[in-house]
Amino acid sequence: MAVWEVDFYRRPLQDEGGNPLWELLVCDPVGEFRHSALCPQSQATGDWLIAEMQQLADLGHPLPNILRVFRPQTFNLLQTVAEKLGIAIEPTRHTPTLKCWLEERARQYPTLPNYTGQSYQPLHLDQPPPVPLAETLWGDRWGFTSLPAADLVEAFRDRPIPILEMPEDWFPLKLGIASTLPIPGVVITGGRRSMMIARWLQESHPYSLNYVPGAPDGLILEAGLCDRWIVATFADPDVKAVAQQYEQRKRQSKELHFLLVQPDDSGITYSGFWLLRGEGQ
C-alpha cells in the first residue's frame, strides 16, 4: 500500500513582489521519493494542490493509496483534494520522515535569497488547553502499570481484543529496547462503559499519555492532530511519585508506552489496547 507524507504550509520565504510563499513537501515513509514546490499564498488552494499531484502522476509517480498529514491546516486543505483524487487521507502526528525533512529545510531557508528572517518553527502546532473528558467516558478507576519489554507483545498481540493498535515498527525488539526494561502504561477499568470508552478512544486517535505536574497534577491524553484531554487529576503524593516514575520509564523506553481499557481486573477480557509513542523518540 503506497503512502505519502504531505505538508503544505506557509514558510519564511517571499517572492520577488514580497508575497508570502507556501511550500508543498511530499515524501514516502522511507525518504526514497521527495518532491517540493513553492507557490504564492494567493494560489495556495485545493486546485493548485490537485494540479501538483496530477503532475507528479504524469511524471511517473503513481498517486498513493494514503496521504498522511500532521498539520491541521494542511489536513483541512487536503481533505477535498484527496476526495477528488480518490485517495484516503490519514490525520496522524506520526510522519517521522516528513518531519525530519521539514527540520532540514528550516536549516536551509536562511541561506536562500528570498528568506524573510521571520521566526519559524517547522513542527510547531497551536495546541489548545486540555479539555476534561465527559463524565460518560470516566472509567470506574485507572492506574499506572508496566510490563517487561520481552512480555509486551506476547501479552496482547494474539488476544481477541476488539480494538487493538500495535504497530510492528514499535515492537520493543525493533526499537532496540532491552528485554528487561519496563514499558510503562495506563490501565482504565471501565466496567459497563468499557467498550464505549474504547470506541471513543479509537475515534480520537490516541497519540500519547503524559503526566503533567500542576495544581492539581494531571494525566493528559494527546490525540488526533492537536487535541488534548484531561483523563485524570490527582494531588495524592503517592500517585504523584508513581506518575513521575511513569514519565521516567517513558524516557528510558524511547517514549514507548501503552494504554489498556478493560471491563474488570480479571485479566480475561480486554476492550482496547494501544501501543503509543510520542515525540522525543
Q: Which three cell numbers stand for residue 70?
A: 500532521
Please state, for a pLDDT cut of 90, what percent of the chain lies above it: 93
Look at residue 281 in the predicted model and tell me its pLDDT: 43
Element (H, E) at 223: strand 217-223
Look at residue 4 in the predicted model and tell me its pLDDT: 97
Question: Quick one: pLDDT band at residue 280, thresholds 50, 70, 90?
Answer: low
| 219-241 per-position pLDDT tens digit | 999 999 999 999 999 999 999 99
Q: DSSP letters along 46-76, please? A: HHHHHHHHHHHHHTT----SEEEE--HHHHH
| DSSP-H helix ranges across 140-278 | 149-156, 194-204, 237-252
pLDDT averaged over every residue in the chain: 94
Q: Evaluate whether 279 touches 255 at the Cβ level (below 8 Å).
A: yes
Phi, psi of 237 (to 5 degrees): -65, -30
Q: Evaluate whether 205 touches 228 at the Cβ level (below 8 Å).
A: no
3-state secondary structure of 28: coil
3-state secondary structure of 196: helix
Residue whose C-alpha is closest to residue 90's, from 118, 71, 110, 113: 71
Does position 163 have pLDDT exceeding 60, yes or no? yes
Amino acid at position 47, single letter = D
Cβ neighbour number for residue 57 with a 10 Å cutoff: 11
DSSP letter at 265? S
| Phi-psi label, residue 134: left if phi above 0, alpha if psi -120 to 50, beta otherwise | beta
Q: What pairs with residue 278 in β-bridges?
A: none
Q: Distance of CA 91 to CAs 50, 148, 149, 271, Å?
A: 19, 31, 29, 24
Cell numbers 494542511 correspond to 74
Does position 131 have pLDDT exceeding 80, yes or no? yes
- Mean pLDDT of the 126-154 span: 93
- Rounded to the nearest angstrom, the gap between the alpha carbon of residue 77 and the centroid of all alpha carbons in its chain is 19
- Whole-structure pTM value: 0.86
| CATH for 3-111, options being 3.30.70.20, 3.40.50.720, 3.40.1010.10, 3.30.420.10 | 3.30.420.10
- Mean pLDDT of the 4-25 span: 96
Question: Quick one: pLDDT band at residue 81, thresholds 50, 70, 90?
Answer: very high
Q: Could you tell me the residue ranges of all domains in the chain? A: 3-111, 131-277
Does position 125 have pLDDT exceeding 70, yes or no? yes
Phi, psi of 29 (to 5 degrees): -65, -20
- Mean pLDDT of the 246-272 span: 95
| 169-193 per-position pLDDT tens digit | 999 999 999 999 999 999 999 999 9
Question: Quick one: pLDDT band at residue 88, thresholds 50, 70, 90?
Answer: very high
